Amino acid sequence: MTVTHGFLWMLVIISAVAQVQVVSWHRNLLQEWQGTDRTRHELLQENTRLVLEKSTLTAHGRIDSLARKKLDMKEPEHTQVFR
Amino acid sequence: MSNTEETKVEGVERWRFALVLAVFALLLLVVAGRMVMLHTIEQPFLFEQGEKRTVRSEVQMASRGNITDRFGSPLAVSTPVVTLWVNPQQVDPRKLTSVAKMLGINSRELIRKVDRVARQGRSFYYIKRQVQPEIAEQILSQKIAGLYGDDDFRRYYPAAEITAHTVGLVNIDGKGQEGLELAFEDHLKGSNGSRQVVKDLFGNVIKQLGVDSVAKSGNDLALTIDLRLQYLAYRELKAIVQSHHAAAGSAVMLDAKTGEILALVSQPSYNPNNRATLKPQHMRNRAIADLIEPGSTMKPFTVAAALESGKYSANTPVNTSPGYVRIKNKTIRDHRDYGVLDLTGIITKSSNVGVSYLARDLGAESIWQFFSHAGMGNPGTLGFPGEAVSSIPYPEQLDDLRLSTVSYGYGLSVSPLQLAETYTSFFDGCRQHVSLLLEQVGSQECEPVMSKRTARQMLNMLETVVSLKGTGKRAAVDGYRVGGKTGTAHKIGRGGYEDSEYTAVFAGLAPLTDPDLVLVVVVDDPKGQEYYGGEVAAPVFSRIMDQALRLRQVVPDKPGKDQMLQVAGGIR
């Protein structure tokens, strides 16, 4: 009787400690996940910003006028094309 | 005496003692009873209220899928932003002055509005939606009580007005309103996630109770559009619409071999990034939603039908003298008396009388059938909102007069996109179905319209239109063999065809040796001396085609005037 009792008591204490541990573990994981989620969000922000920046800088109209004005380029005359 | 006094005192004490005890017992009972009530009868209510004060249901916004061109250049991108709102019951309006300053809104007005909303007893008011995350962070770091920021997404259109009609736009809540954003709403939109969390006083999540749904971002959409071609088509179209003070214009460029839409532009256009300046009349996707009478651009199909019938060859003479023909009290005229023309000549000179003769000889049934195979009267297949459905009268409706008018492109209607689709059949006799999404390319078998031999003959005829003696000589492109057909249709007004309002059209292919591109240019109601398709639309066709062929690195197939080989900038 006493042996069984003692055993059950031990089980109760072990499970109680385990419960506390699991809760703590859960919260730590949650913290970690929230941190990474925030990072993900920031990276997404950064990414879309860069995508937009790139597409603005490489816009056809911009390249076209830069090539003409800054680099003094022009479309080849018809007679200048090798074929 | 003392004895009696003692008993008296004892008697009083006992009575008082009993009373106090009874009162205490009663109080205890009341407390116990209340406890029982709280724990049993009112428990569900209290539990719920308790949860309400600590457990929050959080929505996690899903980002909308991006739209890109065929090479992955972004056409529509969702970027994270923050929506700022206040609880007017909790916020001290005077503290909002600095917030208003940072957001560039009138602070006095903001305070007045928040005050009014607070007096109405409401507990939600938008300060500003879709704020740049950096600014929002600065504002939120001031930790003003009652001021909150929610994650949100804002849609940006990097190509702005150049792709506005095709891509469309979303409203402030991120729902598709126009164009592909509307047509593919279900494909693009993600599904928001939601979860139950316990938050502490500072709004930090300390416990996650459960996840109802995980946020799923929307799917991307890759178009067949080539942004470079789109850009140059837009630029040239805009220039011609402005210089001719035209009401509108559109241009469609297709890959002749696959039917992929490479460019799809309309004028006037709008900037989808600035909702304040939107005008409904600018939002019409004219290349898809407008029906035009194709006019003379239909003549090649009548001639092709004649060739297919076996009764005619490219050299069969047809007498178009005296340059007009009367059918049922109506006179069909040519520009002048062209005399005897062969079939090629009918196309070159765009003779109305010539094609009328051909159509009447072939009969309504066979013309109708041929035109139907070529795509006239087919419903649109893109699933685009507002896509026009082309129409052609049934053979029973085609009496002599209507048959004649149909043969030169009046009395039937197509959208510029459908017109371009019909022209893909000149590549190898098979009409390609147009596609706007990369994943749809090649999903539909092409529709046989004419034999390869006829198609080849037609290409040669179309080339004569662009020659010096043709109506579309201004469509010529240096170095490439180009073929096409001009068209000028009277616009329809209230009282029938308008005398002085026209739609100028040019439809064609290049290079003819191995057609790569089909291009249709439509200019609506050009003002001034020039209004013919060959004068207004053909030069635009030439400019767009010239640059597009160069961009796509198509090998020139027409030797120059000087046959000398010349090298510019090294040898390829």
B379-422 pLDDT, tens digit per residue, is 777 778 788 888 888 888 888 888 888 888 888 889 999 999 99
State mean pLDDT over B455-461.
Answer: 91
Query: Does the CB of B1 have a partner CB in chain A at under 8 Å?
Result: no
Chain segment B311-330, per-residue pLDDT in tens? 888 888 888 888 888 888 88
Model pLDDT, residue B564: 47
Model ipTM value: 0.77
**Residue B521 φ/ψ, nearest 5 degrees:** -120, 130
pLDDT above 80: residue B496: no
Which pLDDT score is estimated for B325? Answer: 86
Report yes or no: B528 at the A interface, CB cutoff 8 Å: no
Say if the Cβ atoms of B79 and A79 lie within 8 Å.
no
pLDDT band with cut points at 50, 70 and 90 for residue B274: confident
Question: Lowest-pLDDT range, B86-95, B199-208, B242-251, B515-524?
Answer: B199-208
Active site residues of B: 296
Tell me: cis bond preceding B322? Omega within 30 of 0 counts: yes
Whether B167 contacts B179, CB under 8 Å = yes
B549 touches chain A (CB under 8 A): no
Q: Which of B63, B86, B30 is nearest to B188 (CA)?
A: B63
How far apart, in whole angstroms, are the C-alpha atoms of residue B327 and residue B55? Answer: 83
Is the pLDDT score of B99 beyond 60? yes
C-alpha span between B541 and B297 (Å, rounded) = 14
Whole-angstrom CA distances from B223 to B71, B185, B208, B513, B524 are 9, 15, 41, 28, 27
User: What are the structural domains of chain B?
Assistant: 57-222 (3.90.1310.10), 227-551 (3.40.710.10)
Nearest alpha-carbon partner for B265 in B240, B285, B295: B285
Residue A5 distance to chain B (closest CA, Å): 32
- For the segment B241-269, the average pLDDT, to the nearest whole number, is 91
Q: Is the pLDDT of residue A42 over 50?
A: yes
One-letter amino acid identity for B349?
K
Reply yes or no on whether the pLDDT at B217 is more than 60.
yes
- Residue B9 binned pLDDT confidence (cut-offs 50, 70, 90): low
Whether omega for the bond prior to residue B515 falls within 30 degrees of 0, making it cis, is no
- pLDDT surpasses 50 at B29: yes
Instruction: Report B:54-83 residues touching A (Cβ under 8 A).
Output: 63, 73-74, 77-80
Exposure class string for A20-56: b at 16+ Cβ within 10 A, else e: eeeeeeeeeeeeeeeeeeeeeeeebbeebbebbeebe
Chain B residues within an 8 Å CB radius of A61: 231, 235
Closest-approach residue (CA) in chain B for A26: B207
Q: What does the alpha-carbon distance between residue B258 and residue B35 come to, in Å, rounded to a whole number?
A: 80
Contacts of residue B468, Cβ cutoff 8 Å, sequence gap at least 6: none
CA contacts within 13 A on the Cβ side of B184 = 23
Residue B318: exposed, middle, or buried by beta-carbon count in 10 A (0-12, 13-18, 19+)?
buried
- B508 close to B518: Cβ distance less than 8 angstroms: yes
* Distances from the Cα of B264 to the Cα of A65, B10, B253, B395, B572, angstroms: 23, 110, 7, 32, 32
CA angle B424, B425, B426 (to 5 degrees): 90
Q: Give chain B positions within 8 Å (CB) of A41.
A: 80, 151
Q: Is A51 on the interface with B (CB under 8 A)?
A: yes
Judged by average pLDDT, the poorest of B178-187, B194-203, B236-245, B329-338 is B194-203
Greater model confidence, B36 or A60: B36
Mean pLDDT for A42-71 is 88
CA geometry: angle B179, B290, B264, nearest 5 deg = 55
Q: Which residue do the tokens 């120059």 mark?
A: B560
Q: In the structure, what pLDDT confidence band is assigned to residue B566 with cuts at 50, 70 and 90? A: very low
